[in-house]
Amino acid sequence: MLRFGIIGCGLMGREFASAAARWMHLLKMPVRPEIIAVCDANSSLMNWFTDHFSSVIQTSTDYKALLENPEIDAIYCAVPHNLHAQLYVDIINAGKHLLGEKPFGIDQSANTQILKAIAANPNVTVRCSSEFPFFPAAQKIIQYAQSGKFGRIIEVEAGFWHSSDLDPNKPINWKRMIAVNGEYGVMGDLGFHVVHTPARVGWIPKDVRAVLSNIVTERPDGKGNMVPCETWDNAHLLTSVALEDSRFGHYEFPMTLSMKRIAPGEANTWFIRVIGSELSAEFSTKHPKTLRTLPYTAGQPQAWHEQDIGFETVYPTITGSIFEFGFTDAIQQMWAAFCDEVAGNTPRFQCGTPTEAALSHALFTAALESQRSGSVAKLEPASMGGA
């Protein structure tokens, strides 16, 4: 049993609690999370947890109370970005394992502070939340990449698109404020989800040409006024990736990454499309069970195939293999991987790592520079603080 505290009882805090409540869904898990403490600055949000979980015996509006509780093994922290550095560093220094939400610091200097705390506490497991790679079809694409099935990569496109900000009457919230969300704008909000899977298979951008758009520049504040809406709504990043390949030698390919708050019609569309000389493949959460592939042999026809991928999960479950997989399943699979690793096992698929989060910061920082200068910006990796 792993005893958890949750800091931040908003949208994502509840998702973890719900995944933990149906842990029996997973088969043969060596470990089970139990939520024993919750913290939110808004005390009314903790009632949902105490109503539904008799295991919750500590509630506090001060996160430090959870860090002082010796019964707590691990923390899930899902708070606004301006708080990541302080809270994550304090959690890690308190010796609690941490699944932290992206972007893992409001900017690169905040991310560097978190990396230093990780380096100083090597016995603490720290991972960054990223659930989309756990979709079964996304796992297939990751496996193809790791086993070299694509041949020579010609190009990669990945993105994460939302649409609710198309509505100019949608009131502003913290994700639209630079002081709370960060100067990255949509990249801080959605970007790690886009960068994580390419990074996991070794597709690391070396430079970026960014076009960032602030489309809706003011919004209602919910009190009858219009206020500035400062953040970048959409980000188009054209990057170059260099590979050293045993079959193809040194070569480069373009990788286009997009994050959009304003993509009309898209509810929560995460996708990846890989075009290769021997295989192409694509998956989008818009069609959550469909994997599209185009295998190619020289001189043979070129035809896309569609395959329904059922409930073929990283961690086995009670669900029949022909049924459909969804967002809450991906969240639970991610939690299974985190708990498995904290319990001392090698996870079947590792959650987002601090190194991958640091890479996303290097990319987003370079993208801001590219937007400012109107030129190609090289990536400067963050210091791991001596690690």
Ligand X SMILES: NC(=O)c1ccc[n+]([C@@H]2O[C@H](COP(=O)([O-])OP(=O)(O)OC[C@H]3O[C@@H](n4cnc5c(N)ncnc54)[C@H](O)[C@@H]3O)[C@@H](O)[C@H]2O)c1
CB of 102 to ligand X, least distance (A): 5
CB 278 within 8 A of CB 296: yes
Q: Which amino acid is located at 254 in the chain?
A: P
For the window 173-192, what string marks contact with ligand X as x by the rule CB under 6 A? Answer: ----------------x---
Q: Which is nearer to ligand X, 131 or 266 (CB)?
A: 131
Among 37-45, 140-148, 300-308, 358-366, which window interacts with ligand X (CB under 6 A)? 37-45
CB of 42 to ligand X, least distance (A): 4
Provide the residue count of the chain: 387
Determine which residue in the list 4, 16, 49, 63 makes contact with ligand X, applying CB under 6 A: 63
CB of 135 to ligand X, least distance (A): 13
Residues forming beta bridges with residue 122, ordered by sequence position:
none
CB of 321 to ligand X, least distance (A): 25
CB of 101 to ligand X, least distance (A): 3
Q: Which is nearer to ligand X, 102 or 200 (CB)?
A: 102
Among 8-16, 112-120, 232-240, 364-372, which window interacts with ligand X (CB under 6 A)? 8-16
* Residue 44 CB-half CA count within 13 A: 0
Q: Which is nearer to ligand X, 106 or 368 (CB)?
A: 106
> Which regions of 285-331 does DSSP assign to beta strands (E)?
290-295, 305-308
The 3-class SS string of 324-351 reads CCCHHHHHHHHHHHHHHHHCCCCCCCCC
As given in the structure block, the two tokens for residue 227 are 């206020």
Determine which residue in the list 39, 124, 145, 279 makes contact with ligand X, applying CB under 6 A: 39
**Site residues for ligand X, window 298-317 (CB under 6 A)?**
none
Give the alpha-carbon dihedral of 38, 44, 48, 54, to 10 degrees: 50
CB 243 within 8 A of CB 153: yes
CB of 270 to ligand X, least distance (A): 9
Q: Which is nearer to ligand X, 39 or 259 (CB)?
A: 39
- How many binding residues for ligand X (CB under 6 A)? 22
Q: Which is nearer to ligand X, 39 or 137 (CB)?
A: 39
Q: Which is nearer to ligand X, 100 or 276 (CB)?
A: 100
Among 39-47, 247-255, 347-355, 362-370, which window interacts with ligand X (CB under 6 A)? 39-47
Among 9-17, 105-113, 146-154, 158-166, which window interacts with ligand X (CB under 6 A)? 9-17
Q: Give the chain's radius of gyration (CA, Å).
A: 21
**Site residues for ligand X, window 77-136 (CB under 6 A)?**
78-81, 83, 101-102, 129, 131
Q: Which is nearer to ligand X, 144 or 160 (CB)?
A: 160
Query: Of the candidates 280, 307, 285, 310, which has an alpha carbon nearest to the alpha carbon of residue 295?
Result: 280
Alpha carbon 86 to chain centroid, angstroms: 20
Among 6-14, 26-34, 285-293, 375-383, which window interacts with ligand X (CB under 6 A)? 6-14
User: Roughly how many angstroms between the first and final C-alpha of the chain, as a whole number?
Assistant: 30
Q: Which residue is nearest to ligand X (CB)?
A: 10
Determine which residue in the list 19, 26, 33, 40 makes contact with ligand X, applying CB under 6 A: 40
Binning the chain into helix, strand and coil, the percentages to the nearest 5 are 35, 25, 40
DSSP string, 173-191: -GGG-HHHH-TTTHHHHHH
Using the rule CB under 6 A, is 45 a contact of ligand X? yes
Element (H, E) at 377: strand 377-378
Determine which residue in the list 4, 5, 8, 289 makes contact with ligand X, applying CB under 6 A: 8
Query: Of the candidates 56, 58, 53, which has an alpha carbon nearest to the alpha carbon of residue 22?
Result: 53
CA angle, corner 362, sides to 357 and 364, nearest 5? Answer: 90
Binding stretches for ligand X (CB under 6 A): 7-12, 39-42, 45, 63, 78-81, 83, 101-102, 129, 131, 189
